Amino acid sequence: MNAKPTFAPELFIPNGITDISFYEKAFGAIELRRFSNDDGTVHVSELSINGTIFHLHEQTQHSHAFSPAKLGATTVIIGLFVDDVHAVVKQAELAGAKIVSPIQDYDYGYRQATVIDPFGHQWQLQMVI
């Protein structure tokens, strides 16, 4: 089998989260499956944005991965190519994102903006211009 490699980032979120609707509202994500804890909080959620899969996973004490809120920083910015940066940034802001870097055209041919989601993950929304 020669499967094409794909990335499926796993974003860590704080424990006790039940509402992950930000991703649906901001980016049109669809939740494909969820594994909940006994109290109904999210353990793992698999989501798709236009066929691209990513996961949300609660922090566990046995993991060396932390949510940005726990770490106080992030080591990764998720790049998301979209058809209309202006529309998606507005949609993300209305859903609860904080704009870190406003929309700007760069000489390398991209229009980009960076937002932080409610769990501290940074998303670079971009398009080729």
In a domain? residue 67? yes
Q: Please, which residues bridge with residue 59 across strands?
A: none
Contacts of 12 (CB under 8 A, 6+ apart): 56, 57, 58, 59, 63, 65, 66, 67, 70
In a domain? residue 97? yes
Number of domains within the chain: 1
In a domain? residue 27? yes
Q: How would you label 15-28 residue by residue, b for 16+ Cβ within 10 Å and e otherwise?
A: eebeebebbeebbe
> What is the reported pLDDT for 102?
98
In a domain? residue 22? yes
Please, are residues 126 and 77 in contact by the beta-carbon 8 Å criterion? no
pLDDT tens, per residue, the chain with 129 residues: 667 788 899 999 999 999 999 999 999 999 999 999 999 999 999 999 999 999 999 987 777 788 898 888 888 999 999 999 999 999 999 999 999 999 999 999 999 999 999 999 999 999 999
Assign residue 54 the CATH number of its domain: 3.10.180.10
In a domain? residue 3? no
In a domain? residue 1? no
> What is the reported pLDDT for 1?
60
In a domain? residue 84? yes
> What is the reported pLDDT for 87?
98
Considering only the C-alpha atoms of the chain, give the largest distance between any 2 of them, rounded to a whole number of Å: 51
> What is the reported pLDDT for 23?
98
Domain range for 100 is 10-128
In a domain? residue 98? yes
